[in-house]
Homo-oligomer: A and B are copies of this chain.
C-alpha cells in the first residue's frame, strides 16, 4: 500500500476534505492527494505550514511539553489538522471551514501510524 492510498482514504472518510499530504519539515511534500480546489494557494500554504510546525516542534522540545501530537490552524477559508509521522515528516489534512473537523482529527489519528509504518 502506498502513501497515496492512505491519503485517499482520509479524504474519502472526511466530509469537506480538500487535500491530504505527507510533508517533510523542509517544506517538500512526499505525496499529496487533492480532492477539491480551495480558494487559497494550497502549495504555498503547506510550505508555510511546515515551517511553522517545525518551530512548534522545536519550542515543545525546549519547553519540555512532550512531543507535539497535533496542530490545527483554522482560518476563514481553510481548516488544517496535522500530526507528526516521524521527526522529519508530518501529515496534514486541509478541510473546508464547514468540513467535519472531529471526523478529520479521527481519520488523521488512525492514518498516521499506517503512514509511519511505510516510511
| A76/B71 contact (C-beta < 8 A), A52-B52, A52-B55, A59-B52 known | no
Q: Which size class do A's interface residues fall under?
A: 20 to 34
Stretch at the interface among A8-16, A25-33, A60-68: A60-68
- A63 near B76 (CB under 8 angstroms)? no
| A48/B63 contact (C-beta < 8 A), A55-B55, A102-B102 known | yes
A80 to B, closest residue via Cβ: B65
Provide the bound-state CA to CA distance between A67 and B75, in Å. Answer: 5
Q: Which listed residue (B44, B69, B75) contacts A75, Cβ 8 A?
A: B69
**A interface residues (Cβ-Cβ under 8 A, vs B):** 40-41, 44-45, 48, 52, 55-56, 59-60, 62-78, 102
